[in-house]
Structure 1
Amino acid sequence: MTTLTTARGAAEQLAAQIPSAVPLTVAEPTPGAAPAAGASCVRAHFVGATSADLMVVADEVIADAIAAAGGDVSAAEILRPALEAAASNLGAGVLDTARVDVLGDAFGDADTEVFALVDATGTARAWFAMRVRAAAPAPAAPGHVDAASERSRMRVLHDVELVLTAEIGRTRLPMRQVLDLVPGTVLELDRSAGAPADVMVNGRLVARGEVVVIDEDYGIRISEIVATDGGH
């Protein structure tokens, strides 16, 4: 898979998760139409088999979401789920803390893949860019894997902290209903009462378990490990 294909897939994942009042699709940028160097941008670094810098310029489309939050959240927090979705296209790894920064000349870097996120009229409403920092070497042919080397490489990652989240269910709402949420609103999720919760790492399902209470705090008792595509 080429860097361009990977970056476009990441852009499509991100576009689907941005809390925009209008649907966004991925398009090639029009020459000369990139955001200004002084534009506000949210950046995050992904470390994994493929390491990359992810950048999003989306102040216009997330303005309603920030307003609905009452100013208590930043653009980085609003865009975090979208960045996690984009990072999921890069394989296993860890997404660093997202931060708000000035775009500068990042979109002009020859190694950076840039995409416009456009509305139904083709107007660019937001931007996504990805710069690959490093890629892991291709795996050896079956039967020639050096197990000792593999364990040595993995040992480097043993102390990397991963963020695990427990998800009891999901629902989808149009933006107008999200903006109308008030204390006391009841949302119906897509899961029955008593069903196991999903345990996620960077948006990927790794296990399922039962919600328990431990000294007045919630916990998860793992009941099932979900096999990855690699069968590990």
Structure 2
Amino acid sequence: MTTTASAALAADAAAELARALPSENGYTVGGPAGRVAPAESFEASSVGQVSVDVAVGFLGVGTIAHDGLAVQNLVHPALAAAARVYGTGVLGEVREGAGLFDDPDAEVFELLDGESIVGWFAVRPRRSARQGGPLGGDPEERLNRINGVEMALTVEIGRTRMTVRDVLGLEPGAVVELDRSAGAPADILLNGRIIAHGEVVVVDQDYGVRVTRILDAQEGAR
């Protein structure tokens, strides 16, 4: 991978993150940045065709409005979208930390709200053995090392976008309309990525999901 190609991929990843971050007006990507010191930052690692470390940092604490929700959960889909630019993979747990912004091998881009810098995005690819990188050993053997790692499996029956004002106005009895018709299959997500479709069932008075279709890598991209 040439330096030019690497920079282009990093810029594409930054753009995907900016589009996916929750924002009333939407974020855009500015120019490359040097080392920065975010007031609040979150990192995660993706294992896949090209393993990458990704991070998002904000100029001030509370830049992402969360109203009691964990900021890690809010930025996870955006970091996953950025990592998918490098190919199929699974993003791990999002953790607080700014180590990636201090790494000279990471590429850093500004995040803009209008013309103002509100944060930064950092990415650092880690080459696999098939790409001639430093990792050795049989790929299947390496994957066996993480067989016992637990991952979050989520079933989603629909979603919608709401302003913070509308969310704060919710009261018991309010009905939130989702973007899916009744009877449509539910999405089964692994760490925020769709891997299958299914139908919701009841098992011993608990909800469950019956898998009806497994998606391939292209269909699962989102």
Q: TM-score, normalised by structure 2?
A: 0.78
Distance 1:29 1:97 in 2: 26
Rate the CA distance shift 1:7–1:51 in 2: closer, same or farther, 3 A. Answer: same
**How far has the Cα of 1:60 moved from its partner?**
3.9
Mapped to 1, the partners of 2:216 and 2:73 lie a distance apart of: 30
TM-superposed CA distance for 1:130, in Å, is 0.8
- 1:186-225 aligned within 5 A: 186-225=175-214
Read off the aligned partner of 2:48 and give its amino acid letter: G
Partner of 1:133: 126
Pairs aligned (count): 211
Q: Which structure would you say has the larger Rg? A: 1
Q: One-letter code of the match for 1:76?
A: Q
CA RMSD of aligned residues (A): 3.0
> Does the aligned pair in 2 maintain the 1:88–1:203 contact within 8 Å?
no
3-state SS of 2:85 partner: helix
* Alpha carbons 1:19, 1:62 under 8 Å: kept: no
Secondary structure of the structure 1 residue equivalent to 2:217: coil
Equivalent residue runs for 1:55-204 within 5 Å: 55-58=55-58, 60=60, 62-63=62-63, 65-66=65-66, 68-69=67-68, 73-101=69-97, 103=98, 106-120=100-114, 122-135=115-128, 137-138=130-131, 158-204=147-193
Match of 2:23 among 20, 24, 49: 20
Q: Secondary structure at the match of 1:77?
A: helix
1:168 counterpart letter in structure 2:
I
Task: State the 1:30 CA deviation.
Answer: 5.4
Q: Distance in 1 between matches of 2:205 and 2:96?
A: 35
1:218 is paired with a residue whose SS is strand
Query: Percent identity over the alignment?
Result: 43
Q: CA deviation at 1:61?
A: 8.0
CA deviation map 1:189-216 (0-9, x unaligned): 1111121111123443322111001122
Change (3 A) 1:167 1:138: same
SS at structure 2 position matched to 1:79: helix
Shift of 1:84: 2.4
For residue 65 of structure 2, give the secondary structure of its aligned residue in structure 1. Answer: helix
Letter in 1 for 2:111: L
Q: Summarize deviations over 1:81-109 as a string: whole Å, max 9, x none.
A: 222222332333332211112x25x4343
Find out whether 1:5 has 2:11 as its counterpart.
Answer: no
CA gap 1:181/1:83 in 2 versus in 1, 3 angstroms: farther
Query: TM-score under structure 1 normalisation?
Result: 0.75
**Cα shift at 1:75:** 2.8
Q: Give distance in 1, aligned partners of 2:12 and 2:213.
A: 30
Matched residue type, 2:54: L
Deviation, 1:63, is 4.0
Report the Cα distance in structure 1 between the residues aligned to 2:168 and 2:61, rounded to whole angstroms: 14
Q: 1:13 to 1:180 in 2, by over 3 A?
A: farther
Q: AA paired with 2:198?
A: G
**How much does 1:153 deviate?**
6.5
